[in-house]
Structure 1
Amino acid sequence: MSQTKLEKETKSGWKFFREKTSNLIKGLGAYFAVVLTNISLIIIITIVTSEHSFETSGLLYYLYISALFLVGYSIATTKTVNDSIIHKILQIIKRFFDVVMAASGFFFLMPLLIILAVAIKIESDGPILFRSKRVGQFGSMFDAYKFRTMYIAPTEKPITKVGSFLRRFSLNELPMLINVLNGELSLVGPWPRLPENLAETIDKDNQILTVRPGLTGLWQISNTSSRQSVELDLKYIKDWSLWQDLKILFKTVFVVLITKQNRA
């Protein structure tokens, strides 16, 4: 074996190892984020609703440790090309909000998620979740998780009855909270691009790829074609603020409940 070939194989093996290690760390971080957030919510609810007085110093200490972990995980999974300290701090706050909200989503929505998973499995054979390749921040590839809404075998009507209901209210996208926890998606951001039409759906400077894509965003809540996604996503990046993210989140709820419109 030539030295050049050996070096290439070594680099390839090292890259594979780093990717696997990175995914493992992110997975563990996401797992502990969910556990700590859910336990913290239970503690807070207990303290607020309890009619009896009890020692809370130990519980408050646990909340403090949980908050430190969540902040640390948010810092570790935040990437930005902007060198401004203020911008970096705001991005960490955005990431912290993403982690806490996604983890809380699993806490409050778990009964619904279980019911939907059972309904999908009862109606048709096949996996409960569907994975779609998407392009993430800095061009990294990831699997976006969604509830399966179509039959596996070819049929006259490819979309299942449960799938039609899920798409109507965008409930099929709830599993993408996993991607938010892993740091592959943000709650709000540019539309996560498909690899096959990436060249046609990003700007020439690749500015869109410098930002973490979002579960929702300006384009996702606007009634426009995919061709206009570039313009809207660039506008989002230019005008970005935490307040804008909150407004988009609230408008997303309105769009889902009122227009009942879903996009793939």
Structure 2
Amino acid sequence: MQQRELASPFPAARGRLGNGTYNRPASDWEQQYRRTVVVGDTLATALVVAAIGASLGDREATHWHEQWGTLAVATELLLLGALAVGRSWAPAVLGQGAEEFRRLGRSLFTTAVLLALGGIALTSRPIKLWVFVAIPALALVTMTTRYVLRLRLHRQRQEGRCLRPVLAAGSPATVHDLITRVRKYPHLGWRIDAVCTPDGLGTDGDRLDGVPVVGRLTDVAGHVHRDGYRVVAVTPDPHWTPEHLRRLAWNLEGGDAEMVVAPVLMEVAGPRLHVDAVLGIPLLRVSMPTFSGGPRAVKEVVDRLGAAFLLLLFAPVMAFVGLLVALDSRGGVFYRQRRIGKDGRPFMMVKFRTMVAGADRARAGLEDLNEGAGLLFKLRRDPRVTRVGARLRRYSLDELPQLFNVLTGSMSLVGPRPPLPEESAAYGPDIRRRLLVKPGLTGLWQVSGRSDLPWEEAVRLDLRYVEDWSLALDTVILWKTLRAVLQGQGAY
């Protein structure tokens, strides 16, 4: 089958596939993107250092001009060294997931510690300014730069460029699931070009979901060496015994292909997965979810301080919104509703009122028009919503008073959606795991489509958050929330 070549901003080597011609492999654009990130980190560090030096007064600059120069050079070298040692530029982590920012954060922390220790040893007077001003500024600039580059890369992937060609190998059912996920999330950078199945057949003859089936599972290594796939995605099938997987890994040696094995625990990932060697046997160790301890304490502190800061920042906006609500329709400015929080404890959630007075009593007459998925009640054109309320909902301004809930500890900045009592009463054992953590002002559901999500997908995202929570994941969600709110996606 002949397929159209997609133009890419990065050069790509051509190669022949058994089923046509593609840009092969994508290693050139990967290396180009990596170089762009390295240059971005270097320039960001130099920019911050120069800005701090330029902000010093003449007296200050004269007082420790030599120390500033030493610190500037030391910061540049230490940060770039920490980024290299910490594999923050590894192509496997660039452009997707929270791991990229987690490694960047560790490198910045390492740089701060080394600078502090060096300053103490050398009795450097400006070291406090450097550690507590320069490093946070570096974190802000470098993370922003990385995020902007990631947005550009994701935009190109949405257009079908900068994708890594993948050969999927497994049972038709598990490969179908993988193809569905890859097509739904093109920003992850995969493009499944070919499939191998146990009998060399797909669900539609020589195709599976429109992807050519090029051979049997025993033919995988030969196709990879001949056709230049960048990723071999192994999905569950009885054929994949430890002996077969080991032999496949040996046969792939010497090439550029990355072998990825999908575990049975599809929704467990991130910091909970560890690979250990016990008596020479590789074991996938799954640690328990963290619901207490140091990281959770940090989250509590960040929640309270963050809520206090945001309340001060948005105080004028909240006052203006409250005035608009009061002038638009009769009723109170705020709307209080009973919700279920951590461990099933009820609390009163506060929002700006977006509906006419007595809207709860009118819901019974609208049940037949419900457009919400699962246990949710939603209407795209709810007649109870006021004119101002529609605008507030579109940009989530009605949720700003929930910062008071975060400040008092009944909610978190990031977490699962806070359910109504009747919703939680209908939860099964699996869905009740959402109540193991505090509900959030935002969450994976917020940055993935909000009310447009099917019920099952919203539940899956909440459970994934509970299972795979980390401080880095919270940071990524908060960052993505701003874009979701500004675009008004899935809000009604």
- Higher RCO structure (Cα 8 Å, ≥6 apart): 1
Q: Which amino acid aligns with 1:221?
A: V
Q: 1:233 aligns with which of 445, 456, 462?
A: 462
Map of 1:142 onto structure 2: 347
Q: Could you state the TM-score of these two structures normalised by the residue count of structure 2? A: 0.35
Deviations 1:173-196 (A, max 9, x none): 000001101111000011111111
Instruction: Single out whichever of 237-246 and 191-200 deviates more from structure 2.
Output: 191-200
Q: Is the 8 A contact 2:394 2:488 kept in 1?
A: no
Q: 1:130 aligns with which of 321, 329, 335?
A: 335
Counterpart Cα distance in 1 of 2:457 and 2:488: 20
Counterpart Cα distance in 2 of 1:201 and 1:247: 28
Counterpart Cα distance in 2 of 1:192 and 1:152: 22
Instruction: Single out whichever of 226-235 and 200-209 deviates more from structure 2.
Output: 200-209
Whichever structure has more strand as a proportion of its residues is 2
Alignment pair present for 1:244 and 2:470: no
Quickly say closer, same or farther: Cα 1:261–1:229, change in 2 above 3 A: closer
Q: CA deviation at 1:104?
A: 0.6
Deviations 1:199-254 (A, max 9, x none): 44454373221111111111222232233322211111121110100100111111
Counterpart Cα distance in 1 of 2:456 and 2:313: 36
Counterpart Cα distance in 2 of 1:99 and 1:153: 33
Deviations 1:138-196 (A, max 9, x none): 11001111100111167994221111110110100000001101111000011111111
List runs of 5+ in structure 2 lacking aligned partners.
1-54, 58-287, 363-381
Map of 1:71 onto structure 2: none
Map of 1:121 onto structure 2: 326
Q: Could you state the TM-score of these two structures normalised by the residue count of structure 1? A: 0.63
Map of 1:184 onto structure 2: 410
Q: Is the 8 A contact 1:201 1:230 kept in 2?
A: no
Map of 1:100 onto structure 2: 305
Quickly say closer, same or farther: Cα 1:185–1:202, change in 2 above 3 A: farther
Secondary structure at the residue paired with 1:138?
helix
Quickly say closer, same or farther: Cα 1:83–1:172, change in 2 above 3 A: closer
Q: Which amino acid aligns with 2:482?
A: V
Alignment pair present for 1:90 and 2:299: no
Q: CA deviation at 1:132?
A: 1.5
Identical columns (%) = 38
Deviations 1:68-117 (A, max 9, x none): xxxxxxxxxxxxxx897x95111110111111111011111111111111
Secondary structure at the residue paired with 1:219?
helix
Map of 1:206 onto structure 2: 432
Secondary structure at the residue paired with 2:355?
coil
Q: Is the 8 A contact 2:353 2:398 kept in 1?
A: yes
Counterpart Cα distance in 2 of 1:153 and 1:242: 40
Whichever structure has more helix as a proportion of its residues is 1
Q: 2:421 aligns with which of 150, 170, 195?
A: 195
Counterpart Cα distance in 1 of 2:462 and 2:489: 22
Map of 1:1-264 to 2, 5 A cutoff? 87-152=292-357, 157-201=383-427, 203-204=429-430, 206-223=432-449, 224-262=453-491
Q: Which amino acid aligns with 1:158?
A: R
Counterpart Cα distance in 2 of 1:89 and 1:168: 36
Query: How many residue pairs are counted as aligned between the two chains?
Result: 184
List runs of 5+ in structure 1 lacking aligned partners.
1-48, 52-81
